[in-house]
Each structure stands twice: as structure tokens, then as C-alpha cells.
Structure 1
Amino acid sequence: MNRQTLTNSLLVVLVVVLLLGINLLFYVKPEPDAETDEYADRSTHSSRPYGTLGAYLFLQESGVRVSRWEQDYRALADRQDVRVVIFVEPRTKPRTRQLRALAEWIGRGGTFVMFERSWPLRLGRQQLLPGSYLPPEGPGSAFGQVPVQRAVPWQPGGAFQGVSWLGISPKATTVMLQPVPISKIEDEPSFPLQMTACVPLAGVQDTPAVAEVRYGAGRIIYVGDPFVIANQGLAEGDNARFLLNLVRLATRDNAGQVVFDDYHHGYRATNGGLLGLLGYFRGTPIPWMVWHIVALGLLAAYTLGRRFGRPVRLPVKPRTNALEFVTAMARIQKAAAARDLAIENLYRRFHRRLCHYTGLPTTAPLKELCLAASERSGHPMSEWRAVTERCQAVIEGRATIGDAELLRLAQRLRALDARLPP
């Protein structure tokens, strides 16, 4: 790894650490806001006024086989023990495929209890369409904390055995069974069964608030107000008895399972794996960190794999080593009888070191240079002068030497060079 690559890598790591630090520094877990009737968690996990944890625990303590449904409606085909599905006005509504699976399950004998005020249930050519608000009645709250209206039973027995009135909120709506517009029927898949007549079960004055619709071998119970099953409304009137009678009648004395639809409230079973891991880190800065790392990784891969500038030639390694080069030069000089060139190669380096040793410039006369070297080294001046003058004469062409003298002169240069400090 070269220096530039190392610098780029450290820069990327620094940016990643900076982004992670910013996320951790500025992340503040949001405090839950006060719920409203239009925007509330109505799941069985919520113990707030609009939740249904109280209804879930009430049925559980009453001996009803109750559980939370955290899967798609298409999984109902594999659950023969589920007899009742309780649907309490979630913010996320079922899609067409889920409705088709739900319709098949109801047609086989299931009971779908929906507490809804605005969403129309479309199964085939008919739809349960919520209507207007119920006519106002005098307050009938047993606790006086919230305004409550009274819905009286119209059909004796069954789910209303022992029920004198139901406590509903002023926002409760009525329901109507109407045909679906032709334009919407063409865009949706066909359903094997159709909803039959809507039978009102309870209401205010002459306006129904609770109705029953047959669908194949099963039925749909519509209650136009989730307040009836909410934590704050379960104790009003005979709401709790009505709920218990309803599920016992549908399960044939606890012979089946009752499930609360928490899937559409956002509580979804993932069976582990990647989705389970993502669900575990939901609401934390970890997903943002992962996405930052992925983005920076892609950026780094792009920048390292792309050239920004002119192409640079790759370094060419020498094909020979230093010893081969010296051997080749020696053969060339021997073949050319260039003894003066061989002496010059040795003497030039020795002369530079000698000047550096004596502190004189390279243009100093040889006599002064040898005198200074003799004084510093303690060796006779004649040794220094004889070698340097002979080499200088050969280099300048004033003298010629043979191979034997060349070898002796080179040895004497090496000996004098060894006296110089490194």
C-alpha cells in the first residue's frame, strides 16, 4: 500500500467516525407525544386510554383463548383454530390481497369483529360503508371522565344477553351496506362470495351503531366506535359483557382461538433473520449508521477505481543489478583500453571525499590539499601527493599506464580512501 492509498483510506475512516459521532451526539430518543383520538396506538400493547390492553387482559382472565395476531391475513389459511379476529381501527389498513385472504377465512366460518369509524370494508361487489355520526344523546358516563352516549340493544339474546346499554363516544358512526362503484370493482379481483343484508343489532334512536353481516359460513360484526373496546371505554355501560358474550358466542364456548389484529398496528412477527435484526434496531441511530457506511463505501470504491488526472506510467524495475553493471563497464573499459577512464571513476569520488575531509574547495591546488590531509591524518605528505598527482596526470593525458600499474594505483587509492572518515 503506497502513501497516497493509505492517506485516502485514513480519510475515509475519519469521515465515517465523524458521521457516527454526529449521529450519536444529536440523536435524542423522542418522547411519546400525547395521543389523540385520530392518531393513537390502539394495539393490545398499549396501556394508554386508546389502547386495547385492558380488553386483551380481560378476555384472558375470563378464560378465553386469546392471543395477538402479528402476521399477514394470508397466514389465516394455516390456522384452523382461529375463530375470531378483532380489528380495532389501525392507521394502516389491509390491502387487496389481504382482504381476499380474509374473505376466504370468513367464508369458511370465521367471525371478523371490526371497531371502525371511517374505513369501508369492501368484499366483492358490496361494502360496509361507515356513515354519519350518531345522533347526540345525553351523557351517560359512569365515571364522568369522558362524554359517553348510550347505544341500546335492538336484538335480544346472543351477544346482548345481560347487556342493557353500550357506552359509545360522540364520534361513533353508523354503517350502511352499499354496492361498490363499478369503477372500483373493475380494478379489484373478484371475490367468490358476497355480503348479504346488514342486520342492525344496537344503536341510538333509529340509527344503528352495531350491525351484523353474513358472509358465506361466517359473519362480520361491525361496531362503529373503537371506544367500546378501548381502555378508557371498556368499563362504560356493559361494554365488557358485550365483548365477552360476542367472543364466546363466536368461539362456541371457548372451542376456538380469539386474536387481536396487531399486525396493522405495526407489530409484525419476523421469525428472526435480517428483518428481525432491523426490527430490533428500529428507533435507534444504528440503521442511519449502516446507510452512511454503505454510502461511504460506495464512494470510496468509486474514487479508488477511477483515475482523476493523467495516466502515470508504472515504475520499470532495472533488469540488472549493480554488480552486473560494474562488470559490464569493466569489460567495456578493458576492451577499449580506457585505463584513464577507470582511474577517473575511482579518483573523482576520492577527490570529493578528500576535499570534504580537509575542508578545502574542490578547486584547491593538490599541494595544499595533500598538506592539509597530511596534517590531519598524521601520515606523510608524500604518500598523498604521489597518488593524487599520478592520477591527475593520467586523467589529463600527460602520462600513460599499463594494467599492472593501474591495479597498483587503484589499490593505493582504496588504501588512502580507507583512512578518510565515513
Structure 2
Amino acid sequence: MARGGCHIRKRGDTWAVIVGLIALIFVSVLFGGDPQPRARLAPAGSSWAQTPEGLSAIYAVLADQGAARRWTLPLDRLDGSVDRLVVWNVDGLDPDEVDALEAWVFAGGTALVGGPLSGFRGTFQPAAEGTARPAAPHPATLGIRAVSVGSGRFGGAPGERLIHLKDEEGRPVLVSWRVGEGRIFWSADTAWLSNARIGEAQNLDLALQILLPPDGGQVAFDEYHHGFVAPTHWWQVLRGSLQAFGLMLAAAVALLFWSYGARFGSPLPAPERPPRAAVEYVHSMSRLYRRVGARAVVLRALHRSLRTELSRLTGGAEGLSHGEIAGRAAARCGVPAGEIERLLERTADLNHIPADAELIDLARQAEKLRRRIEHATYRDG
């Protein structure tokens, strides 16, 4: 069909739309996330999980403070953008990962580790669910009286580690130790931070005192060990057969556009003649009024405009004398009341029609007053 002097083949446009839709679907599926909701697939200990064992509640609390993010890269990629790190209820850390974590903590980071991890030596024993209380004064447990915990306990007091929480029978629940400039907190119990218990006792207070960094820092929740892995190269986004599909789709689109020469968008319309400038209109009207000697009309319009602007400034000018209007407006816009009153009186006097030069001067004074009124309105508004 023809439009605007340009011929476009309808068949080529149709195929272009079809291919565009296919590409849109492909990109949406590819980059839209997991096929099933992460909240349902995430394991215990994940900040995505909304199950009782998940950490979505504490993540939401920190996210409201603008201090939460999810870490989906190996631990050796940790950098200064993260101030706190949560590694919760994972299967284990390799020796290289433990070294990377300790190197990051050594530089000043703080890590909260939960559950039995092969990289950290310690014995665990089950116990009845109950309450843990601070074992020694420390900023992390300042003001904490009781924390609701599950069944995880350390078998004994780990050597050279500060014990923060003990249960009713004196068994350690939460310990920590310094590594360089930072500190590692290790909890034998993983229930106190979970969705099921974060609202009990003072669990949330303890979590915030350990995790919430000062000065707007970031808390990262380790999702790399829960299976949510970010690609380190763009080609890794395409996995398996998706790589072949992407290549074939790109070749098909290139062949289609080469064959049909389809293009997107309508022909550009012919440029329209720009409207006449406002200054031309004003110049024409002024010449017309001058020819017919309609200075009285201009003076009346000038007075009406002044009263309208002053009425907006003072909240109404109906029934008020020029002196009263000027007195109210002077306090608002900073122009002397006498000057405003004289301008109103002169523009209202139709018995003495001014000459062209005086009329222009009155218009200038009115414009100057209008700008002062506008400035006062913006300032007070």
C-alpha cells in the first residue's frame, strides 16, 4: 500500500510483526526469571522463601530500610559494596569459600552464619525449643533479654570464641570471633531468624543489632548456595538448547528483513508551516488599535487586568476602593501602596485618555507590578 508517497509491502510488515512478537516472547521467557515463583521453590534459609523456615520476613524489614540485597555470585566476588553478609542454613562451604569469606571479613565486613557448616569446626547437638538469653555484655546483645530459639545448640563452648546467647541449660546458641577488622557471628540454631520466629520475643531486635549497618550500608543475603546463581558472562544466560534457539532466531530475523525489506514506523509527515509568532499578533493588534484611536479600550483592558491580578493576590477585591486594594497588595508584593493606588486611579480614569507614550508607560508599570505579584504568589504558594 502507499502512504505519504512511500510504498510498503503489507506482507513484509505482517511478517515483521510476527517475528517481533516471537522475539518479545523469547526475551520475556529468557529474562523474566524462573518459570515458577521463586518464593515457592526457594529452600529453607533463603530470603526468597516465604515458608516458616525462610528469611523473607527479615529481608523485607531490611529492604524497607533500603539496606537489603541478594548475593548470587561466589564468595570470592565479595567487595566493599557489602557491609554485612548472611549465610544461612546452607549445605556447606568449601575450604576456598571459607578462605574467601574470612578474607572479606578481615577487611572489615561482618558475617552472620547459621547452621552446621563444614568449613567451621564445631559440634552440634539437638535440644528442646525454648528461650536463649545473653551470656555476656556485648553491643550485639545490648538491651536483649530473651530470644526465642529452636533446637540447634553447640555441643560445648567453642574455644576462643565469645558466647552471646545461652539456653536455659547453659548451652551456647550464638557465638562470634574477630577476624582482622571484622567479626563472624555463628548461630547453631537457624530458627530464631526464620519467618516463623522473627516476630517472637526480641528476635527482630537481635537481628537488626547484628545486621543493620550504620551509615546506609548494605546487607547481602547469600543466595548463591541456595541455587540462585547469577551468570558471570552474557552467553551463560542462554543454556543448552536455548543457545541454538537464539542463534536460529537471530538468523531468521536477519533473513526476513533482508528478504522483505520491512521497516517499522510510518512515513514522516510533511513539515507544517509554523504558527504565527505571538509577537506578530501583538504588533498587528497594536497597529489596529492605534489606527482607530481605541486608546480607551486599551486603558479599560489594562485596568481590568490589574484588578484581576490584585484580586488573586489579596483574595478578592470586589467592593473595595483603590486605596484598600493597594494597602492589602502592598503588604504582599512589597510595592508601595501609593504607587499601586496611583496606577489603579490612572487606568480607571476614562475622562482623560492618555497619549500613546503615556499609555505605553502605564503598560510597562502594569507589567512590572504583575511580575511582582506573580513572584509573591509563587513565594507564598
Q: Normalised by the size of structure 2, how large is the TM-score?
A: 0.49
Q: Normalised by the size of structure 1, how large is the TM-score?
A: 0.45
